[in-house]
Structure 1
Amino acid sequence: MKLTKIAVAVLLTTGLAACSNSSVNNTNEKASAVQSAYPGITLIESVAANAAEISIPYKKYQLDNGLTVIVHEDHSDPLVHVDVTYHVGSAREELGKSGFAHFFEHMMFQGSENVADEEHFKIITEAGGTLNGTTNSDRTNYFETVPVNQLEKMLWLEADRMGFLLDAVTQEKFEVQRETVKNERGQRVDNRPYGRLNERVSQALYPDGHPYSWPVIGFMDDLNRVNVNDLKAFFLRWYGPNNATITIGGDINAEDVLPLVSKYFAPIPRGPEVVDAEKVAVTLEADRYISMEDKVHLPLLSMNFPTTYARAADEAPLDILAEIIGGGNNSLLYKNLVKTQLAVQAGVSHPCRELACSLSIYALPNPASGKTLADIEKIVRDSFTEFEQRGVTQDDLDKVKAKIESGAIFGLQSVAGKVSQLAAFETFTGNPNFIQDDLARYNSVTKADVMRVFNQYVKGKAAVIMSVVPEGQRQLVAAEDNFTPISHDFGGPSTTSADDLVARKAVDTFDRSKQPTAGVNPAVEVPTLWQTTTANGIAVLGTQSIETPTTSILIKVPGGQYSEQAEKVGLAATTAAMLSESTQNYTTEQMSGALEKLGSTIRISANSTHTNIFVSSLTKNLDATLALVEEKLFNPAFSEEDFNRNKQQSIQNIQHALKDAGYLASNAYSQLLYGDSIAALPNGGTLASIEAISLDDVKGFYNSNFKPQGSEVIVVSDLEQQALQAKVAATLDNWEGKAPAPSAHFEEPKVASNVIYLVDKPDAPQSEIRIGKRDMIEDITGEFFKANLMNFALGGNFNSRINLNLREDKGYTYGARTSFWGDATSGGFTASAAVRADSTAASIVEFTKELNNYAQNGISDDELSFMRKAINQKDALKYETPNAKLSFLAQILEHDLQPSFVKERNKIVSTISKEEINALAAKHLNTKDMVYVVVGDAKSLKPELEKLGMKVVDYTL
């Protein structure tokens, strides 16, 4: 994963406290003072904040066992984020033993010596927190955000799996998690269109045995061959404190944190010494053509040129080169392929990792163009020639610098973002304060630098060119394969034994088995709100957030899918897409360029009931951004060229989606629940409906529905109400009219019980399951809300009955869940999972058993207590970022609430009785009323499903 990426606003997740000339203290006097107060801890440096530059204030320490500790103080919200990053990813694995780092990400949540099985998720969820772990080629990290009173418990958990994990890693856990990883691969790779593209490219791009030549998730043959002792050996080699950084940020003080870190982590012994892997330049002597048939609708061309490595001098100009060639609406590939409708999509990026980067190009030809992958490759290469002639403009560099600035400031909005950046920079550079160097290397890029890297890495250089084509259509490949990866025989099952392991054990002076108790829950203040209604009928709700100089605005205009006719479903989404194209005064490219120079975004989309306009801007650029909002909303060009291009893209996207099992399952399920109503159809339309939509339809929908009365504006900004209200009014006050009320009617069809509706996806390695029914509309403090409290123990969290059964106990799935869902018009209940194909029938049995058992016997006392603690302690996390505040305010407007509804809901959580929850379960969880949908390989599934005693009906979308 690339740490700094232009295309994603550079991930400069920094802390504004910090817009400053960082002052770094690294004196022997201060270090010795810290060592005296906290034996075994050395202060390495202290970075303070002042207003001259962007940085994140922190203090960096090191324990005698090598653990690096970084503390960032942010007292804006009563929460804390803890990140433990280990400098180990798939690149530390051996040929034939791929997937270990990712496998260990799973194992680290399976309990340790003092934390019982499945307790890690439960403890953090019960604390009102969120958690996860991620693995990439170069590092693995584990993180949690919790109310600040839960910090000690988090440190206890993280220390226990760093120093006391191996005795808890059993053969049984190993086998279950191996199945879970297989399910994850099936869901994310094998059962997804183009899912194996990256691993095939990596095999061809890197030399045999190179650390990046295998996928992070690993090859299943490797995981099948190894045993639990291989996994333990990998942990002992790489998961020592001297190969880790713990970063703690939030409403804390370093003086309070250090004694806790010392208590829980200092006794853990060092692991083997770790040195950085050598960065060896990757080169290709000639183009390598490879290809693959896949269950896809469109062929795809991928070109990858090896370049440099992360944070090398050439990375920044290569990032800018990628932007110019294929990074957006002003890029060469957009002009030459997408705008001309020769391709449905095309783009360029420059993903970088610790040891290597590549310039990555992709394009999906539009079937209507008649272009082959060979034709597309030629157009790409011709675009390189055009770039030589075009050169680099100052405009190119200015847009990149604007993205960097806005990305840096928007990254200040969450403690998690700041902590993650500190951890990443420390892991890969040894300097958490690397942010200024990172900014400087982009700001110093010249036009000549970009041309130089083009000549060095792209012009006339060899690449890996991969063709992915629909099954049975090998004639579409760009060129015949001329490269085959080396095949290895790694023998039979591993013989690694426990005797081969050299264990290390911590020695404590306290009883680590005792879970720390949390302090008093922190007081959480609901944001102070202001509300008004404009003269033309727009409800405006806002709040001030002074942590960053940014403004976020959500404009909700009534008129979405439910305002359409079924034969032209997708009209609202098409209209929203057209509002993102050219206007009367700007071409699409000019509008994109203007927004990029401001570092602003305007996103327009349609859902069931509304068209939503999301605006994000640095406050200093808000006036200019709102002028562009006004241009987009009130002066659309609705050009024939834009319409035809969007229409073709929509048709191809739908045909692509029809190869995706999850899309098929959702569509079949909606049809069965909603029958002939508009809600039965996909928001983005069907092939027939999109074909039927005309440009006049778009203009008509816009003219009829795009009106101010009933619209809502939600704003979160560092500006005070008066100033912000004036800017909103200046943008929207001249808007007039009222849209007709939606006429959609959702009559519930009668669906036979004891029936499984089977949608065929031939040879699918996984099956998608949906079980559920229509139910209540959404409410905030009524039965809908209470039903979701009831559902929490059933399928509403990781430790729910259904997820523990299907994922952790049986190994059938990567994740299973249940939920009540709804809006003001309709709602329902759904149980869902993507399961291993050979466990489809068994998964149906387990789902049904769990639903019936819960309906009949209800919630346990422990589950009720768990639910109450988990939900009521989440408040500290609800209002941290401007976007979180935006969602909170939108809910208030939508349901006409007073802010006091938060206290009312907390009271319901605290007082709802076991009897009421059980009555809700009995009322809403009758499986006899539910629809069963399965998407998978019908020829193998149908006989197994029929054995369940249910009628199996072949269902066609």
Structure 2
Amino acid sequence: MFKKVKLIVLGLALAAVQEPVLAQKATTQTKLVEKVTRKGSELVIPYEKYVLPNGLTVVVHEDHSDPIVHVDVTYHVGSAREEVGKSGFAHFFEHMMFQGSDHVGDDEHFKIVSEAGGTLNGSTNRDRTNYYETLPANQLETALWLEADRMGFLLDAVTQKKFENQRSTVKNERGQNYDNRPYGLVSEKVAQALYPYGHPYSWTTIGYLEDLNRGTLDDLKNFFLRWYGPNNATLTVGGDVTPQQVLKLAEKYFGSIPRGPEVKNMKLPAPTLTQDRYISYEDNIRFPLLQLTYASVPAYHPDEVALDCLAEILGQGKTSILYKNLIKTQKATSASASNYTSELAGQFSLSIMPFPGQSLADMEKAVREAFTEFEKTGVSDDALTRYKSSAEANAIYDLSSVAGKVAQLAAYQTYLGTPNQLPRELKKIQSLTKADVMRVYNQYIKGKHAVVLSVVPKGKADAVAKADNFKVDPTGYKAPKDEYEGLKYVKAKDNFDRSKRPASGPNPVVKVPPFWTDKIANGIKVIGTKNEEIPTVTLYFTLKGGHRLEAKDPTKAGIASLTAAMLNEASEKYTAEEISSQLDKLGSSISFGSDADEMTVSVQSLVKNLDATLALLEERMLHPRFDQTDFDRLKKQRLEAIANQSTQPTVVANNVYNKLLYGEGNIMAVPVIGTTSSVQNITLADVKKFYQDNFSPSVTNLVIVGDTEQKKILPKLAFLNKWVPKPVEIPTQATNAGIDKTKIFLIDKEKAAQSEIRIGYIALPYDATGEYYKARIMNYLLGGAFSSRINMNLREDKGFTYGARSAFSGTEYAGPFTASAGVRSNASDSSVVEFMKEIKRMRDEGVTDAELAFVKSAMGQSEARSYETPIQKAAFLNNILRYDLDKDYVTKQNQILQNITKAEINALAKKYLPYEKMNILLVGDKAAIKPGLEKLGYEIVELDTEGNILKQTSAIPESTKQVNLPMEDTKRKKKKSKNTEKTGPAVIRTF
């Protein structure tokens, strides 16, 4: 399912649906097809659209606010174009597009973009696949050269070895994000039951393992020839460019690529269910899940907006019916509704996780009672206003980055044939009525049948809402016609040498945002910068302390986080629901949080609604109600969340890893949300006292970024002077646990498809221009870059993982160096070998001349991407205040980077990579992985999920070791790799 853009503007001069400037069609030359410009304060994305003679659509958005360019190539092919028995192929093919082409070496695509200071990725959903880069603007030609080469010159560079390697990577991805993740198979099970057998949405984009195993190299080549022609693609470029500049380069690099076979849009009827289809499966979870899914409408359907509004009323936020009936009453830990749409169909879903003591049958009854309640109460004026106003803010925030604008233009063009859809979406939402919402409820939900999925803990099959009554039936399925017969590979013929990488233009001038500083009388330090690109203001408060304050009384660990949660509830004047309603109507947000070192307050507002938003901020910050009912509910949710952590391998690994590093008696060894015993000890009186003692302006920094000036914003913050300062003592850091020698710590997660690995020790505190910064330069090559040694080895060379990495993560306090990955279970011991080998090789051998040049170029040029969005600007300014940095610290960092020598980096590796004194933690299936780990020669300590010792095994004597670590490096092909990014069931990204 692709991500919808939910948009509205109220109170702005609205963009009418513009008629594009049209040009005559041409078959032999490129001509302008559409041109859209902004008039006044319209909310519209200006662009020019061209079509090349080979069918490639080119869309250009000119934006000179930052010296960057974003390039997106979207192919109108996703998993919906796959065949039965060959699921997952569109996404698998996306991986192959990063493995080199005729004029670009193996995995060099990523290396070139990274070295140029850029970032890149690719993603696949049901309906399209896209590839994109964000780079300094002088690298535009390089980006287009790279994208054109894989569009027109891929297949001769594809080998069986690359094919098998990426097949392994995709299988690891499925294991990490689906099979080994709680509730990871929900989307797959629902798709199988909602859509008829053979329907292109009846499988998920990741595909089935057996289908991935079945695919051949010829299948891959045919897939490319059928769907990857320029006439099935849109090239969208936005940023510090001109349309003429982009068009000239597009014609040069893409113009000679031959058209592919014609691609026709698909259109299928909505699925129909003759009865409710009950399905279920068992999972390694604590909370059972109930999900009801109804067939809705495709994206951009006239009824989509009304269904979105209906979902908000039923199950989104504190004003929704499900929140009021189930969460507020402590019957469920979560309850939500959503309307997902894709090109061919949509799904309206309601999902509930009940607290223990509530059955899934009870939850199904509660959902149906919520429908009845909605029928009686209908759609209020407030509900309609909330939906429209919050969408206004979404529309504006989506325009904060050139990548966001390009993504919208590309999606609109791909699905609708015109990039100029934003004004139409605005108009649809503005014209939405209460009657529209009731009509779609009656048409698509009331009395209609649903897929009712129960996910229950293993061994509790009888806990389902109702016995299964549905099985997939292939009867009557007829395979579509063969799309792949007679395809031929024809390469472009050029009058220039494609093997020659384009030269970069002059490096863009990167300007650190100018900023001002001030101090409020009660001690709050303020830093701000003006950002006129969008009419919004962001405020970010940080209060020193957070989890570290709990060292004063560790028996109540988690109180900082629980206090922040309470501040998100009622104030003295308003209930939490009333505040939520007012914020939605303003299109604003206010949220409190807490982490290891700080409590935070984040505020976002449209400029026009800033005064009203600040009035609500004053209520929440300075006048919290601290209601006993709210506290009881949040405490119950917190205790259940802590208990649920034992089912999540990633969380178990992180928590126990911290316990090993920091040791008993150190508050950092305790999770930020606390433990069962510590949270049980916390009372409402404790929360009130923690707030009174520690929530103080004396330890507060405030960052302001937005379309405002110092002299305008500070008077609006006068209410903060009512905040009385008090001294807050931050406890000194306790001694960290020592590591006498490297050991393996093993936690059993029975039948786990993957093992989570953490390797490291306590290293360095943050220092912007000292050894911490220099160590990060060294680590960029070891495990910080997508093309780092660790990721290249474990992912690209060995196929053990979907992604591996390492990092230094210090703050004011010394933080850990950590190498980590989720690896397939049967490669657990081998992955430990490769991790330690790369750490040892970096320490003992250092870096090469080529690596030194690479890191200087990559980290140096990436600064052009550092200050584009309000969030990026706020992070930059927050660092200055938090660490008391010089105003020119970025300049100093650049000087350090450009002047650092191989000898310095090698010395840092010797100093900060003590491979003989690191903890190695694995969370995986002990029965499967322990025999291999025992052969590595390390002492093995078995732990439970809370880090308590269960069993300790001495190291195998040297004479019997089969693998003597650390191993000497073996010769291997030098390749560059991609890294990982979290994925969901709808869109799968490559890295």
Could you say which TM-score interval applies, normalised by the shorter chain?
over 0.9
Q: 1:799, CA displacement in angstroms?
A: 0.7
Q: 1:105, CA displacement in angstroms?
A: 1.4
Cα deviation, 1:530-584, whole Å, max 9, x if unaligned, reads 0011110110000001111110010112230000132211110000000001111
Aligned to 2:346: 357
Aligned to 1:405: 392
Letter in structure 1 aligned against 2:443:
Q
The answer to whether structure 1 residue 715 and structure 2 residue 704 are counterparts is yes
Alpha-carbon contact 1:308-1:356 (below 8 Å) kept: yes
Distance between the aligned counterparts of 1:744 and 1:478, measured in 2? 52
- CA RMSD in angstroms, aligned pairs only: 1.9
Q: 1:740, CA displacement in angstroms?
A: 2.1
Alpha-carbon contact 2:696-2:728 (below 8 Å) kept: no
Alpha-carbon contact 1:205-1:306 (below 8 Å) kept: yes
Counterpart secondary structure, 1:822: coil
Distance between the aligned counterparts of 1:549 and 1:146, measured in 2? 26
The answer to whether structure 1 residue 538 and structure 2 residue 524 are counterparts is yes
- Relative to structure 1, the CA distance from residue 363 to residue 498 in structure 2 (aligned partners, 3 Å threshold; closer, same or farther) is closer
Aligned to 2:507: 521
Give the percent of matched residue pairs that are identical in Structure 1 and Structure 2. Answer: 52
- Relative to structure 1, the CA distance from residue 920 to residue 488 in structure 2 (aligned partners, 3 Å threshold; closer, same or farther) is farther
The answer to whether structure 1 residue 181 and structure 2 residue 176 are counterparts is no
Letter in structure 1 aligned against 2:203:
W
Aligned to 1:493: none
The answer to whether structure 1 residue 451 and structure 2 residue 446 are counterparts is no
Letter in structure 2 aligned against 1:544:
K
Aligned to 2:266: 277
Q: 1:19, CA displacement in angstroms?
A: 7.0
Q: 2:419 aligns with which of 427, 432, 439?
A: 432
Alpha-carbon contact 1:23-1:48 (below 8 Å) kept: no
Q: 1:886 aligns with which of 874, 877, 883?
A: 874
The answer to whether structure 1 residue 323 and structure 2 residue 312 are counterparts is yes
Q: 1:13, CA displacement in angstroms?
A: 12
Counterpart secondary structure, 1:537: coil
Aligned to 1:615: 603
Alpha-carbon contact 1:22-1:48 (below 8 Å) kept: no
Letter in structure 2 aligned against 1:546:
E
Alpha-carbon contact 1:69-1:245 (below 8 Å) kept: yes
Letter in structure 2 aligned against 1:545:
N
- Relative to structure 1, the CA distance from residue 616 to residue 864 in structure 2 (aligned partners, 3 Å threshold; closer, same or farther) is same
Q: 1:408, CA displacement in angstroms?
A: 1.1
Alpha-carbon contact 1:20-1:51 (below 8 Å) kept: no
The answer to whether structure 1 residue 558 and structure 2 residue 553 are counterparts is no
Aligned to 2:558: 570
Aligned to 2:848: 860
Q: 2:77 aligns with which of 60, 69, 88?
A: 88
Q: Which residues of 2 match residues 606-755 of structure 1 at below 5 A?
A: 606-676=594-664, 677-728=666-717, 730-755=718-743
Distance between the aligned counterparts of 2:295 and 2:20, measured in 1? 40
Q: 1:809, CA displacement in angstroms?
A: 0.4
- Relative to structure 1, the CA distance from residue 776 to residue 754 in structure 2 (aligned partners, 3 Å threshold; closer, same or farther) is closer
Q: 1:497, CA displacement in angstroms?
A: 15
Aligned to 2:752: 764
Higher mean C-alpha deviation, range 397-406 or range 339-348: 397-406
Distance between the aligned counterparts of 1:438 and 1:935, measured in 2? 47
The answer to whether structure 1 residue 906 and structure 2 residue 894 are counterparts is yes
Aligned to 1:511: 497
Q: 1:439, CA displacement in angstroms?
A: 1.1
Distance between the aligned counterparts of 2:301 and 2:822, measured in 1? 41
Q: 1:525, CA displacement in angstroms?
A: 0.9
Q: 1:450, CA displacement in angstroms?
A: 0.9
For this pair of structures, how many residues does the alignment match? 937
The answer to whether structure 1 residue 579 and structure 2 residue 579 are counterparts is no
The answer to whether structure 1 residue 26 and structure 2 residue 21 are counterparts is yes
Aligned to 1:389: 376
Letter in structure 1 aligned against 2:401:
S
- Relative to structure 1, the CA distance from residue 673 to residue 424 in structure 2 (aligned partners, 3 Å threshold; closer, same or farther) is same
Aligned to 1:130: 119
When the two structures are superposed, what TM-score results if normalisation uses the length of structure 1?
0.96
Q: 1:27, CA displacement in angstroms?
A: 4.5
The answer to whether structure 1 residue 415 and structure 2 residue 402 are counterparts is yes
Aligned to 2:787: 799
Q: 1:499, CA displacement in angstroms?
A: 10
Counterpart secondary structure, 2:809: strand
Distance between the aligned counterparts of 2:325 and 2:892, measured in 1? 57
* Shift >3 Å, 4+ stretches: 11-14, 18-25, 486-490, 496-501
Alpha-carbon contact 1:757-1:933 (below 8 Å) kept: yes
Distance between the aligned counterparts of 2:483 and 2:198, measured in 1? 25
- Relative to structure 1, the CA distance from residue 858 to residue 631 in structure 2 (aligned partners, 3 Å threshold; closer, same or farther) is same
The answer to whether structure 1 residue 486 and structure 2 residue 473 are counterparts is yes
Distance between the aligned counterparts of 2:138 and 2:714, measured in 1? 37
Alpha-carbon contact 2:55-2:232 (below 8 Å) kept: yes
Q: 1:504, CA displacement in angstroms?
A: 2.3
Letter in structure 1 aligned against 2:518:
T
Letter in structure 1 aligned against 2:730:
P
Alpha-carbon contact 2:232-2:263 (below 8 Å) kept: yes
Alpha-carbon contact 1:536-1:735 (below 8 Å) kept: yes
Counterpart secondary structure, 1:412: coil
Q: 2:283 aligns with which of 294, 298, 320?
A: 294
The answer to whether structure 1 residue 155 and structure 2 residue 144 are counterparts is yes
The answer to whether structure 1 residue 4 and structure 2 residue 1 are counterparts is no
Distance between the aligned counterparts of 2:679 and 2:337, measured in 1? 28
Counterpart secondary structure, 2:340: coil
Q: 1:734, CA displacement in angstroms?
A: 1.1
The answer to whether structure 1 residue 475 and structure 2 residue 462 are counterparts is yes
Counterpart secondary structure, 1:759: strand
Alpha-carbon contact 1:821-1:828 (below 8 Å) kept: yes
Q: 1:682, CA displacement in angstroms?
A: 0.9
Counterpart secondary structure, 1:350: strand
Counterpart secondary structure, 2:341: coil
Structure 1 alignment gaps of length 5 or more: 491-495
- Relative to structure 1, the CA distance from residue 418 to residue 180 in structure 2 (aligned partners, 3 Å threshold; closer, same or farther) is same
Q: 1:12, CA displacement in angstroms?
A: 7.9
Alpha-carbon contact 2:557-2:674 (below 8 Å) kept: yes
Cα deviation, 1:914-953, whole Å, max 9, x if unaligned, reads 0010000011112111111010011221111001111111
Counterpart secondary structure, 1:603: strand
Alpha-carbon contact 1:103-1:178 (below 8 Å) kept: yes
- Relative to structure 1, the CA distance from residue 659 to residue 27 in structure 2 (aligned partners, 3 Å threshold; closer, same or farther) is closer
Structure 2 alignment gaps of length 5 or more: 947-991
Counterpart secondary structure, 2:502: coil
Distance between the aligned counterparts of 2:676 and 2:228, measured in 1? 51
Distance between the aligned counterparts of 2:396 and 2:719, measured in 1? 25
Distance between the aligned counterparts of 1:675 and 1:846, measured in 2? 27
Q: 1:190, CA displacement in angstroms?
A: 0.5
Distance between the aligned counterparts of 2:883 and 2:128, measured in 1? 44
Higher mean C-alpha deviation, range 123-132 or range 50-59: 50-59
Letter in structure 1 aligned against 2:493:
V
Distance between the aligned counterparts of 1:498 and 1:859, measured in 2? 47
Aligned to 2:159: 170
Distance between the aligned counterparts of 1:302 and 1:456, measured in 2? 20
Q: 1:648, CA displacement in angstroms?
A: 1.1
Cα deviation, 1:664-704, whole Å, max 9, x if unaligned, reads 11111101100020001111111221122111111111010
Counterpart secondary structure, 2:399: helix
Q: 1:21, CA displacement in angstroms?
A: 5.4
Alpha-carbon contact 2:74-2:414 (below 8 Å) kept: yes
Letter in structure 2 aligned against 1:140:
T
Distance between the aligned counterparts of 2:862 and 2:33, measured in 1? 35
Letter in structure 1 aligned against 2:115:
E
Aligned to 1:233: 222
Distance between the aligned counterparts of 2:387 and 2:417, measured in 1? 26
- Relative to structure 1, the CA distance from residue 76 to residue 798 in structure 2 (aligned partners, 3 Å threshold; closer, same or farther) is same
